Amino acid sequence: MCGIALIVSGIRIDTSWLPFDSTSSTRKTEKLLFSLDDLKAALRRRGPDSVCAKKLLLQSEENLISSFTDDGVSSSERDNADGIHTAKLHFFGATLQLRGINPLVQPLVDASGNFLVYNGEIFGGFDLESNCNDTEFLMRTLGECCSCGSCSAGHCVECGKSSVVGVLCTIKGPWAIIYWQDSSRTLWFGRDGFGRRSLLVHWPTEDDSTFLLSSVSPVSPVQLATEDETLNRIGCFGYWEELPCGIYSLHVDVSKSSGYLVAQVKMHEYANSMLTELIKWDRISVEPSSEDLKTCSHKLSKGQLSMHLASSESVPNETGSVQSSIPGPAHILLDALKESVLRRTSLYTVYQAVTSGIRQEEFVPVAILFSGGLDSMILAALLDKCLDPNYEIDLLNVSFDGHLAPDRQSAKAGLSELRRVAPSRKWRLVEIDADLSDLVFETSHVVSLINPANTYMDLNIGMALWLASGGNGWVSDANISDNDHARIKYKSNAKILLVGSGADEQCAGYGRHRTSYRRGSWLGLHEEMRLDMQRIWRRNLGRDDRCIADNGKEARFPFLDEDVIRLLLNMPLWEVANLDQPIGVGDKKILREVAKLLGLYEAAVLPKRAIQFGSRIARESNRKNFGSNRAANQASAGSVRINNRKSSFC
């Protein structure tokens, strides 16, 4: 994982070709108020192993463009020469290295003058050796691409080489990328089709021609604001936008009329038809017939009996799941989820420096953001089947109300159930206790991380994720006693965190899904679920990635694996959920069946509870910022923007 950024100056950029509102160049924004050191510091929290910056200079003279790395001559000195115009591309990379056998420092620059900063993981699409570093692999692969600058298909029709678009569309896994292809004078940038890695953009405006890309906003708007701005919360909240998912190019040329360096930003279609289908999220079987519902109900009642019998009589198959004689949708999904967890935890060599200074018996390679709810329990049980049995597994649980928070209670119950289904595994419940009134500086910091998101709901979720992923809490002594008075201080050293994002969106886990079903039946439910999947990059994943990665941890989302998404989308909707059934039964029906196949009968009936409510940060935030829960509810506190009222942490 990496923190990546780019600052481009000296190029007149036209964004009118983009198929969305890119913050019109006539709109005025605040000037850039943070320094390069601020940016490096923010990126370094994401990539603590190394941080580096490199400059590329572009020089135009007589309609020709030359490129060279910075040799100490300032761009202003070059511009003083008649007819010469210079642009600067400043690349930044901060690395948390989790793959490969040799240390790697970004930005990478190859012999052809190509620059790469990459924040992602290649879990499929290409065949990589287990000890291969995927960033190095990607640099070599992109270096072999066609450089005509115009081909958007997977392969160039003229030379037959792969295109940059084709290579990026082949990757299975999360990614955000900034790549300079020197031979075509083209800057490529973008993020994967679901936005699993953050990439923010500042488009050029009338009063600020700088073009910026960054994994994270360097400085909190609260920290930068004047007293008046603090009251009204204006300014830097509007500086950044979430870059919409996609692949973009910026081809640099020389203006024939002025001699200035100019460029147009274009957004490219995905060259992978399967990926395009997943992003469109069209389900073939949406509305069941009465016969479909009758068959589904019969299979459910029959399946419940067989699952309980299987818990004592069946033998796990080679994938570790308990199968009946005829695999049903739940069995197939279970196997796909296990493969997804395996890809994200066990199929490649962990970079050895990750374990330096840590005794082997103390090294925890993977942890889980753990509420004890349905999704995190499934991930924990699957991780047990994928991970070397010698490793312990950390279960990270955050509470703003000690042992009284619902998520703390369900986490302890979940721990007991995991010990029952996997008694040979060493499970460690890490209890992360927080008091919102003591987190003044931390709250301001998280405001910068969630930016451009700016509601109290975003802040509450971001704070809970940031504290949980930090892994700094308490464990029961010898991990045996659950007595709060027998706890010892502990900080998880796991660098990889499994997160259950995407389960609710794909399996109808939210309350709004029931509302949509009541109003619009099956078609209404499908449309609401599709909307959730198509906006998950903007509402959830960018924010969550920034908050988790700030602790030098990498979030991985098994439910958002391309194969898992495809499998769920190919299932009839009534096999995935049936909202005619009660809460805890019909919502996320398919995942509840998966949990039962894993022997997690108690977790299988738990209702959905969002992290801000289960940890009780929402209640504490409401009391702090609105005076009471009742006042907050009247004000619809979750959707209130932080910049619309003065918060008590300022």
The arithmetic mean of pLDDT across residues 515-538, rounded, is 97
Does residue 310 lie in a domain region? no
Cα gap 506→529, rounded to integer Å: 6
- In this predicted structure, the answer to whether residue 348 has a pLDDT above a threshold of 90 is no
Quote the mean pLDDT of the chain: 86
Domain final residue, candidates 279, 295, 317: 279
Q: Confidence band (pLDDT; 50, 70, 90) for 519?
A: very high
Cα gap 439→452, rounded to integer Å: 21
- Considering the domain architecture, whether residues 340 and 258 belong to the same structural domain is answered as no
- Identity of the highest mean pLDDT range in 199-208, 357-366, 542-551: 542-551
- Considering the domain architecture, whether residues 614 and 475 belong to the same structural domain is answered as yes
HEC letters along 451-520 = CCCCEHHHHHHHHHHHHHHHCEEEEEHHHCCCCHHHEEEEECCCCEEECCCCHHHHHCCCHHHHHHHHHH
- In this predicted structure, the answer to whether residue 648 has a pLDDT above a threshold of 60 is no
Task: Output the pLDDT for position 236.
Answer: 58
Task: Output the pLDDT for position 148.
Answer: 77
- In this predicted structure, the answer to whether residue 104 has a pLDDT above a threshold of 80 is yes
Contact 115, 183 (CB under 8 A): no
Terminal alpha carbon distance of the chain: 32
Number of H helices, E strands in the chain: 23, 21
> Lowest-pLDDT range, 30-44, 258-272, 276-290, 562-576?
30-44
The larger pLDDT score, comparing residue 324 to residue 251, is at 251
Task: Output the pLDDT for position 199.
Answer: 98
Q: Confidence band (pLDDT; 50, 70, 90) for 1?
A: confident
Does residue 375 lie in a domain region? yes
- Bin 448: left if φ > 0, else alpha if -120 < ψ < 50, else beta: alpha
Question: Quick one: DSSP state of residue 541?
Answer: I
- Considering the domain architecture, whether residues 542 and 424 belong to the same structural domain is answered as yes
Cα gap 57→78, rounded to integer Å: 10
* Domain membership of residue 541 as a residue range: 332-351+360-639
The arithmetic mean of pLDDT across residues 235-247, rounded, is 84
The larger pLDDT score, comparing residue 318 to residue 582, is at 582
Task: Output the pLDDT for position 74.
Answer: 46
- Identity of the highest mean pLDDT range in 33-37, 129-133, 170-174, 645-649: 170-174
The larger pLDDT score, comparing residue 361 to residue 194, is at 194
The larger pLDDT score, comparing residue 319 to residue 338, is at 338
Task: Output the pLDDT for position 596.
Answer: 97
- Identity of the highest mean pLDDT range in 152-156, 363-367, 503-507: 503-507
Q: Confidence band (pLDDT; 50, 70, 90) for 485?
A: low
> Lowest-pLDDT range, 13-17, 194-198, 507-511, 521-525?
13-17
Sheet holding 2-9, edge to edge: 64-69, 50-61, 85-95, 2-9, 211-214, 200-202, 241-242
The larger pLDDT score, comparing residue 399 to residue 73, is at 399
Q: Per the structure block, which two tokens stand in for 157?
A: 């029709």
Over residues 378-414, the pLDDT tens digits come to 999 999 999 999 999 999 999 999 999 999 999 999 9
Over residues 554-578, the pLDDT tens digits come to 999 999 999 999 999 999 999 999 9
Task: Output the pLDDT for position 233.
Answer: 38
CATH code of the domain containing 456 = 3.40.50.620
Total count of residues recorded for the chain: 650
Q: Confidence band (pLDDT; 50, 70, 90) for 99?
A: confident
Over residues 125-169, the pLDDT tens digits come to 999 888 889 999 999 999 999 887 666 666 777 777 889 999 999
- In this predicted structure, the answer to whether residue 76 has a pLDDT above a threshold of 50 is no
What is the number of other CB atoms lying within 10 angstroms of the CB of residue 64? 8
Q: Confidence band (pLDDT; 50, 70, 90) for 258?
A: confident
The arithmetic mean of pLDDT across residues 571-592, rounded, is 96
Cα gap 647→220, rounded to integer Å: 14
Does residue 645 lie in a domain region? no
Strands 211-214 and 554-556: unpaired
The arithmetic mean of pLDDT across residues 417-427, rounded, is 97
Q: Computed from CA positions of residues 430, 436, 442, 444, in that sequence, does the dihedral angle turn out positive or negative?
A: positive
Q: Confidence band (pLDDT; 50, 70, 90) for 319?
A: very low
- Considering the domain architecture, whether residues 58 and 121 belong to the same structural domain is answered as yes
- In this predicted structure, the answer to whether residue 84 has a pLDDT above a threshold of 90 is no
- Considering the domain architecture, whether residues 246 and 366 belong to the same structural domain is answered as no
The arithmetic mean of pLDDT across residues 445-462, rounded, is 94
Does residue 319 lie in a domain region? no
The arithmetic mean of pLDDT across residues 457-480, rounded, is 90
- Considering the domain architecture, whether residues 592 and 483 belong to the same structural domain is answered as yes
- Considering the domain architecture, whether residues 472 and 410 belong to the same structural domain is answered as yes
Does residue 325 lie in a domain region? no
The arithmetic mean of pLDDT across residues 9-37, rounded, is 74
- In this predicted structure, the answer to whether residue 492 has a pLDDT above a threshold of 90 is yes
Does residue 56 lie in a domain region? yes
Residue % of the chain over a pLDDT of 70 = 82
Over residues 217-227, the pLDDT tens digits come to 987 444 444 43
- Considering the domain architecture, whether residues 274 and 337 belong to the same structural domain is answered as no
- Rounded (to 5) percent helix, strand, coil in the chain: 40, 20, 40
Domain final residue, candidates 259, 279, 299: 279
Does residue 294 lie in a domain region? no
Does residue 306 lie in a domain region? no
Task: Output the pLDDT for position 647.
Answer: 42
- Considering the domain architecture, whether residues 470 and 585 belong to the same structural domain is answered as yes
Q: Confidence band (pLDDT; 50, 70, 90) for 246?
A: very high
The total of structural domains in the chain comes to: 2
- In this predicted structure, the answer to whether residue 234 has a pLDDT above a threshold of 60 is no
- Considering the domain architecture, whether residues 238 and 337 belong to the same structural domain is answered as no
Domain final residue, candidates 260, 279, 298: 279
Over residues 162-189, the pLDDT tens digits come to 899 999 999 999 999 999 999 999 999 9
Task: Output the pLDDT for position 376.
Answer: 98
> Lowest-pLDDT range, 275-279, 314-318, 326-330?
314-318
- In this predicted structure, the answer to whether residue 39 has a pLDDT above a threshold of 70 is yes
Task: Output the pLDDT for position 130.
Answer: 83
- Considering the domain architecture, whether residues 448 and 541 belong to the same structural domain is answered as yes
Q: Cα separations (Å) of 368 from 121, 131, 301, 374, 503?
A: 18, 24, 32, 13, 15
The arithmetic mean of pLDDT across residues 281-287, rounded, is 93
CATH code of the domain containing 116 = 3.60.20.10
The arithmetic mean of pLDDT across residues 325-342, rounded, is 91
- In this predicted structure, the answer to whether residue 119 has a pLDDT above a threshold of 70 is yes
Phi, psi (rounded to 5 degrees) for 5: -160, 160
- In this predicted structure, the answer to whether residue 540 has a pLDDT above a threshold of 90 is yes
- Considering the domain architecture, whether residues 274 and 374 belong to the same structural domain is answered as no
Task: Output the pLDDT for position 312.
Answer: 42
Q: Confidence band (pLDDT; 50, 70, 90) for 347?
A: low
